[in-house]
Structure 1
Amino acid sequence: MATPISRRTLLAAGTGAAAGLSLPGVAAAHADDRATTRVRFTLNAQVLDGGEQVTSITLDTARLGPIDPAGLTTGTFSVHAKATSPIPVPAGEYDLDRTVTAVRLDRRGDIVLELSHAEGQTGGGTLGYVASRGRNVMLDLDYTLTQHAPITLRNHRSITIDTFVQNPRLSSPEVDAFTSHISASGMKYRLYSPTGSPSSRRGGRPLIVWLHGGGEGASLPDGYYDNETTLRANRGALGFATPQAQRIFGGAYVLAPQSTSAWMQDGPRFAPLIHEIISDVIRGNRIDRDRIYVAGCSNGGYMSMKMTTVYPTLFAASVPVCGVVTSFPPGGAPLIPDSELARISTPSWLVASRDDTTVDPQANTAHAHDVIPGSLMTLYDHVVRDGHQFAGHWSWIYVARNDPSIDGTHIWQWMAAQHRH
């Protein structure tokens, strides 16, 4: 295996420093203030339906003393963001000012700068898409803060920060809740472990396996294999780790393996590697073997179905989203022939959108639904969330939000009710 690229979500500490400022009306810092004018800051990120964005910045200012919030405005600091790709191909890179929409103190007394962010908004993303590779990559983020007005403490002293130092770690609590692992065969994966007491009388927890899309695999020709984009590119895996999902499943492990390429490139080879990881998780945790579920989008939608053909008795339910069964690209043999689809015995609920221009929903999702015995299907007209219309291929957004329903039963509740027989 090629040596992975050495990269950081954020540049090493010491980058993003702004020079000391000389502000009108601000006296020189007292000798006992000198150690307090160097402040670290952390980029806080959130995974939106369309991918992860930096949504706020926390300045480590509590140690400066009690800050008077009345003296903080959106003009106190300005923020500049520069993002570069670890692969030397332009991939959503940017170099621009971020808009500060609000300033507040958190419970610790640290200053938090809220940043403008929204679906489809450029300049805040943590990922870039390298079209020539068909892959998302983590961008190297370099933020520069500039102070334009002094910080007033409650004792009426004023503080001017001489140096801002960027924390090398990105704070994204939902992502950080997943631990990082590598299987014996070298495949990377992330794992969410539930909290609290199991609801099952036998004490076993369900296990949900999320298989990512093609854009979240590795790019080994570049030595890039991050175990990050599987969680940051969309809410596919994260959705199952939310409090809502955890209540529905009674506390579930959520497993997100990362392919070394794309699942569709060699599904038969990847199937046993995924099975190996599932077996490792079962051995290391109290898993209810009758409640193992598989779901995935696009490439992962294909792989979800492929797993149920290779291991027909392993899963209690399967949720393939905008998956592929025909040849891709067109002209070759089908990825999953009808003879295999017809033998799938795992309860399956397929999801896609009719306006998907990446994977033909009729030739793939609708066709698979017609062939897989007893399968369910939800076909949307468009992919719209909170008023924002996404590309039709992004129907995984609905599964990540427990939106699909049939006769009043939503997809997570349906999954949770399935047990292997």
Structure 2
Amino acid sequence: MGKVFSRRTVLVTGASVTAGLTVPGIAHAGGTGRAGFTLDAQTLDGGEQVTSVTLATARFGPLDPAGLTTGTFSVHAKATSPIDTGGQDIGYDLDRPVTAARLDHRGNVVLDLSYGEGQPGGGTLGYINSKGRNVRLNLAYTITQHEPLRSRGGRPVTITRFTQGPLVNAEVDAFDHHTSRSGMKYRLYSPAHRNGRRPLIVWLHGGGEGASLPDNYYDNETTLRANRGALGFATREAQAIFGDAYVVAPQSTSAWMDDGPRFAPLINEIVRDVLRTRPVDPARVYVVGCSNGGYMSVKMTTVYPRTFAASVPICGVVAAREAGGPPLVPDAELAAISTPTWLVASRDDDTVDPQANTVHAHELIPRSSMTLYDHVIRDGHQFPGHWSWIYVARNDPSIGGTHVWQWMARKHR
């Protein structure tokens, strides 16, 4: 259980959270001070989670790692929605178990936290059912010190106040923020090596990652935090296959399916902006998207048949949204697609019927390829059947020994 303290805490939602404590008997026994901390996150297949916190303790001098244990500090997390949820509770208020405590190469204390697919309390996003949207939660973390740290010389170090800093996710932060001339926001990853013209991969997000303009919510964030779709193409493995590619991830102002014909020119404007401002090979532009973005990937190849070298629609919609309504992509348009297309879905998808959409599109799109999974399982965890984008983000689909990333990379318009 450790010692008992008197603690004073001030909480403010967002990045300005602070927390402090007074430790009887040791507060004045040695060095004292304040420390900021960052929330260190990773985007898992099921969404982003805070996996550790890093305390800025290097300025207290060399610390003795031998005295640092999982009980030295405790971590409490509170998450709230930034917009009205209509009464739905999408947040949490709980302790985050510390699984390891260590010093990084700079001398800062890192507290590793328990996390994993489906584990509550670490997520940075919340899904609002009534709006069909993910939102980035306001995170307020409280750090409590239970034992003094020890310097190499044996001096006790007590931190009297902690100040929360930014959310840090190296993969997400590698994508720059941009806004097109028409006002559509997007994130852009630029490869480390840019000699010569490079490929461009366009990632179109699902319905839950768009904006909610009635709530004045347009974050240009969730498309990278909700899943690994865009991030997968920025990994070292993908970059090696594509030969250092740019990756662009536009964010819809609602959902692509709400008005595909209107959104298509806005996406194309972003593609043209990147082609104009970056050394991109116009013969190697690829479009990939999931769910709503799967529909939009198909739509882009019907509206701009000469733009894309390949298209990978994942669990996308082409059929009518409502019984008796017109199809989102008519059969005649599907049959006229000339862009090389590889469709992906899972048979147990209970959100988008794979037979009426993916299989139907495959039957009509000339020379298209298709991968159908039975379930969506990754590292022993079974995800909802609709989440087949997980496989594309990991370069899993293959036909005749050729995986989907290699297939894309070989295509030139």
TM-score normalised to structure 2 length: 0.95
The structural deviation recorded for 1:88 is: 2.0
Report the count of equivalent residues: 400
**Separation of aligned partners in 2, 1:267 and 1:10:** 36
Alignment of 1:123-142 (within 5 A): 123-142=121-140
User: Which of residues 6, 14, 18 is equivalent to 1:16?
Assistant: 18
User: Which of residues 37, 45, 64 is equivalent to 1:41?
Assistant: 37
The structural deviation recorded for 1:87 is: 1.1
**Separation of aligned partners in 1, 2:217 and 2:336:** 37
> Which AA in structure 2 matches 1:403?
D
Confirm whether residue 213 of structure 1 aligns to residue 206 of structure 2: yes
Confirm whether residue 88 of structure 1 aligns to residue 88 of structure 2: no
The structural deviation recorded for 1:16 is: 3.4
C-alpha deviations, 1:328-350, integer Å up to 9, x for none? 13331000010000000000000
Is the contact between residue 335 and residue 364 of structure 2 (CA under 8 Å) also seen in structure 1? yes
C-alpha deviations, 1:58-108, integer Å up to 9, x for none? 000000010000000000000000000011213520000000000010000
Aligned residue number for residue 28 of structure 2: 28
Is the contact between residue 27 and residue 158 of structure 2 (CA under 8 Å) also seen in structure 1? no
Query: Residue 167 of structure 2 aligns to a residue in which SS?
Result: coil
Q: Which one has a larger percent strand, Structure 1 or Structure 2? A: 2
> Which AA in structure 1 matches 2:14?
L
**Separation of aligned partners in 2, 1:324 and 1:334:** 9
Alignment of 1:261-276 (within 5 A): 261-276=254-269
Is the contact between residue 91 and residue 129 of structure 1 (CA under 8 Å) also seen in structure 2? no
Aligned residue number for residue 99 of structure 1: 97
**Separation of aligned partners in 2, 1:388 and 1:122:** 15
Comparing 363-372 and 88-97, the one that deviates more? 88-97
Alignment of 1:253-402 (within 5 A): 253-402=246-395
Is the contact between residue 91 and residue 131 of structure 1 (CA under 8 Å) also seen in structure 2? no
**Separation of aligned partners in 2, 1:240 and 1:27:** 49
Aligned pair in 2 of structure 1 residues 155, 188: CA closer, same or farther (>3 Å)?
same
The structural deviation recorded for 1:253 is: 0.2
> Which AA in structure 2 matches 1:186?
G
Aligned residue number for residue 48 of structure 2: 52
Is the contact between residue 264 and residue 299 of structure 2 (CA under 8 Å) also seen in structure 1? yes
The structural deviation recorded for 1:18 is: 2.6
**Separation of aligned partners in 1, 2:81 and 2:276:** 38
Aligned pair in 2 of structure 1 residues 230, 116: CA closer, same or farther (>3 Å)?
same
Is the contact between residue 327 and residue 333 of structure 1 (CA under 8 Å) also seen in structure 2? yes
| CA RMSD, 1 decimal | 1.2
**Separation of aligned partners in 1, 2:50 and 2:40:** 6
**Separation of aligned partners in 2, 1:330 and 1:38:** 61
TM-score normalised to structure 1 length: 0.93
The structural deviation recorded for 1:110 is: 0.3
Aligned residue number for residue 6 of structure 1: none
> Which AA in structure 1 matches 2:158?
T
**Separation of aligned partners in 2, 1:45 and 1:139:** 13
The structural deviation recorded for 1:27 is: 6.0
Query: Residue 108 of structure 1 aligns to a residue in which SS?
Result: coil
Is the contact between residue 211 and residue 256 of structure 1 (CA under 8 Å) also seen in structure 2? yes
- Structure 2 runs not aligned, ≥5 long: 1-11
Aligned residue number for residue 149 of structure 1: 147
Query: Residue 160 of structure 1 aligns to a residue in which SS?
Result: strand
Aligned residue number for residue 186 of structure 1: 183
Query: Residue 115 of structure 2 aligns to a residue in which SS?
Result: coil
> Which AA in structure 2 matches 1:320?
P
Query: Residue 17 of structure 1 aligns to a residue in which SS?
Result: strand
**Separation of aligned partners in 1, 2:136 and 2:333:** 37
Confirm whether residue 63 of structure 1 aligns to residue 59 of structure 2: yes
C-alpha deviations, 1:139-176, integer Å up to 9, x for none? 00000000000001101000111001100x21000000
C-alpha deviations, 1:368-416, integer Å up to 9, x for none? 0000000000000000000000000000000000000000000000000
**Separation of aligned partners in 1, 2:290 and 2:310:** 15
The structural deviation recorded for 1:11 is: 1.6
**Separation of aligned partners in 1, 2:110 and 2:27:** 25
> Which AA in structure 2 matches 1:172?
N
Aligned residue number for residue 158 of structure 1: 156
Is the contact between residue 91 and residue 128 of structure 1 (CA under 8 Å) also seen in structure 2? no
**Separation of aligned partners in 2, 1:365 and 1:228:** 28
> Which AA in structure 2 matches 1:192?
Y
> Which AA in structure 2 matches 1:416?
A
**Separation of aligned partners in 2, 1:197 and 1:122:** 40
> Which AA in structure 1 matches 2:23?
L
Question: How much identity, in percent, do the aligned residues show?
Answer: 70
- Structure 1 runs not aligned, ≥5 long: 1-8
The structural deviation recorded for 1:296 is: 0.1
The structural deviation recorded for 1:19 is: 2.4
**Separation of aligned partners in 2, 1:153 and 1:20:** 19
Query: Residue 339 of structure 1 aligns to a residue in which SS?
Result: helix
> Which AA in structure 1 matches 2:79?
A
**Separation of aligned partners in 1, 2:125 and 2:34:** 29
**Separation of aligned partners in 2, 1:214 and 1:329:** 17
Is the contact between residue 10 and residue 170 of structure 1 (CA under 8 Å) also seen in structure 2? no
Aligned pair in 2 of structure 1 residues 91, 346: CA closer, same or farther (>3 Å)?
farther
Aligned pair in 2 of structure 1 residues 93, 350: CA closer, same or farther (>3 Å)?
same
